[in-house]
Amino acid sequence: MNRFKNASNNKYFKYIINELKAKYDELILSDTDITDELFDIFYRTGSRLEYENVYFRKRTLLTASAVLYFIYGEKNYYDTMISVMRSACAERTWALPAHIMENTERPECVIDLFNAETAQSLAEICSICDVPNELHEMIRYEIKRRIAEPFLENEQHWEKLDNNWSAVCGGCVGMALIYEFPDEFKAAEKRILGAMDSYLGGFGNDGICPEGLGYWKYGFRYFTAFAELYKERYGADFFSGDKIKNIAKCQQYMIFGNNVSVSFSDCARDESYDIPIAAFYRRIYGDVYLPDIALTGCLDNCGRYLGATRAFLWSDDNICCGYEKGIGEKYFEDAKWYINKREKFMFAAKAGNNGESHNHNDIGSFIVMSKDGQILADYGAGEYTREYFSDKRYDYICNSSLGHSVPVIDGIPQSAGKKFHGDVLAHSGNMFIIEFSKAYDSEHIRKIERKFEISDICVKISDLYEFNDDKAHDITERFVSVKEPRIADGKVMIGSVVLISDNMPELSSRKLKDHDGNEDTIHFIDYKNIKDSFDLCIKKTP
């Protein structure tokens, strides 16, 4: 509690305290009543937003009131916190409808991300400050029946997943049990540690998170919080070894300036630098980069309690900031990503496979970005619906290769699955070359070789095609932008770059919904009727 109380006099935390106050004032007057009618909308329509908007408003109100009470100790914050905690205990389930099969007999026993997160937040609040005894007992009862008993009785599907689920669910279940049911934790310890191992297994030794930077922040934050508490209570150290150190550095390679980021997979194009995680690991390893910028937010789109509290617990103005010297070019062998940071722009490209977590069919795709945002873009995550995570996933343009800067051959997009992949041929000397004929389910394609050459003012792309028959093939070179392109003097202008080619493209666009469900537009630059080779220069304008 002292760490929170001292924050009120620390100008380093001024912005995020004001953020919490503003959000509290907004939400204390809003509707946070979670009803069965809202819950059932997902099963009728497949839409998640109606229920989740209210659910996350309520969770955000809990976070804001709790943290402000920790800081100021004022009765209004305490009363709100207690009221929301009491209301949460009466909820039908803490899991989201999207994670519960329709007509599940005991939905309260489904341990998804949000059931686990709610248990962790309630248990930790009870460990930090006094709550009424009858409420504490109610919380213990709910955590026992919603988390402890179902976990101990049945293996959970996420225990073996090599993505954020194993870290978030496993970490939260572990923390909730450590706080409230230490005997049950010892019974579950081996499985919780197994879930952490599964999570870490999703990373190669290069530390890159293939499911995207946002999911790196999400999963790694919960992994770190669990590992910190586990070390504190039981003495075991997760933080030794180069792999965790490399994972801790992941974001410093994927962000160009602040709020401009590599967005492969279901990521956002404007991810911010997670200062608390960087500060935590800088204390351990020393050479984790920490930007010299202020904390500008502690609430994510779900209002998660853990992220807000760790902004205060992990970061402060006493830790020395790092100095970004730029990484030049860097190849990540396990993820098969290549990133090249220049003074005026950043370039990223990938091989990999089309069976990754939160996969997009995007082998051979690339991004060109400036400090103002992505120019040739990877759209990232669209609106999450029931069908988004079904066999119709690649009907969504942002997930299909048709929504990425890769060729379309004979009208065929890339296919999904690990067997559809690309091979890296070269990755040094400011050059990245891949062969990705195997990303397409076609027996006629022998070779697709894409070479990127990067200089201070230009990215040159050279594609070569070979087929194993004598037929004519229809090749379209597609490039994608979130900024509207225009043609002038035979060249394509997009933001601060110009596309130069001997071919003239066709411009088109398509509507889609962004991750928040808002209408948006994705733009295409299509060079059609390509033969056996294609060259394009993407040049920075002065």
What's the pLDDT tens digit per position in 270-324? 999 999 999 999 999 988 998 878 788 999 999 999 999 999 999 987 776 765 5
Read off φ and ψ for residue 313, nearest 5 degrees. Answer: -80, -30
User: How confident is the model at residue 2, as a pLDDT?
Assistant: 85
Q: Is 160 exposed, middle or buried (0-12, 13-18, 19+ CB in 10 A)?
A: middle
**Coil, strand, or helix at residue 1?**
coil
CA pair distance 174, 227, nearest whole angstrom: 10
Helical (H) or strand (E) element with 70: helix 49-72
Take residue 431 and report the two structure tokens written for it: 């050059």
Q: Cα–Cα–Cα angle for 254, 260, 264, nearest 5°?
A: 50
Q: Cα–Cα–Cα angle for 191, 213, 207, nearest 5°?
A: 65
User: How confident is the model at residue 319, as a pLDDT?
Assistant: 73
332 close to 402: Cβ distance less than 8 angstroms: no
CA pair distance 270, 268, nearest whole angstrom: 5
Q: Using the 8-state DSSP alphabet, how is residue 486 labeled?
A: E
User: How confident is the model at residue 323, as a pLDDT?
Assistant: 57
pLDDT(160) > 70: yes
Q: Residues 195-209: what's their mean pLDDT? A: 96
Take residue 457 and report the two structure tokens written for it: 């003012």
Q: Using the 8-state DSSP alphabet, how is residue 147 labeled?
A: I
CA 526 to chain centre: 29
Q: Is 89 exposed, middle or buried (0-12, 13-18, 19+ CB in 10 A)?
A: middle
Please indicate, yes or no, whether the overall pTM of this predicted structure exceeds 0.85. yes
Using alpha carbons, select from 484, 463, 497, 477 the residue that is nearest to residue 402: 477
Q: Which has more confidence, 241 or 66? A: 66
* Structural domains of the chain, with CATH: 208-324 (no CATH), 329-540 (2.70.98.70)
User: How confident is the model at residue 325, as a pLDDT?
Assistant: 59
CA pair distance 213, 211, nearest whole angstrom: 7
492 close to 505: Cβ distance less than 8 angstroms: yes
- Integer angstrom CA distances of residue 399 from 61, 313, 336, 476: 33, 37, 19, 18
Helical segments of 73-181, H only? 75-89, 113-128, 133-143, 149-153, 164-180
| Placement of tokens 């309260």 in the chain | 108
Helical (H) or strand (E) element with 6: helix 2-7
CA pair distance 516, 302, nearest whole angstrom: 12
User: How confident is the model at residue 256, as a pLDDT?
Assistant: 87
Q: Residues 65-88: what's their mean pLDDT? A: 98
pLDDT(451) > 80: yes
Q: Residues 327-337: what's their mean pLDDT? A: 93
177 close to 185: Cβ distance less than 8 angstroms: yes
Q: Is the dihedral of CA 378, 379, 385, 390 positive or negative?
A: negative
pLDDT(259) > 90: no
Please count the other Cβ atoms lying within 10 Å of the Cβ belonging to residue 117.
23
385 close to 46: Cβ distance less than 8 angstroms: yes
275 close to 217: Cβ distance less than 8 angstroms: no
**Coil, strand, or helix at residue 57?**
helix
CA pair distance 507, 524, nearest whole angstrom: 6
Q: Could you tell me which residues are beta bridge partners of residue 493?
A: 486, 498
69 close to 129: Cβ distance less than 8 angstroms: yes
Average pLDDT, the chain: 95
Read off φ and ψ for residue 37, nearest 5 degrees. Answer: -60, -45
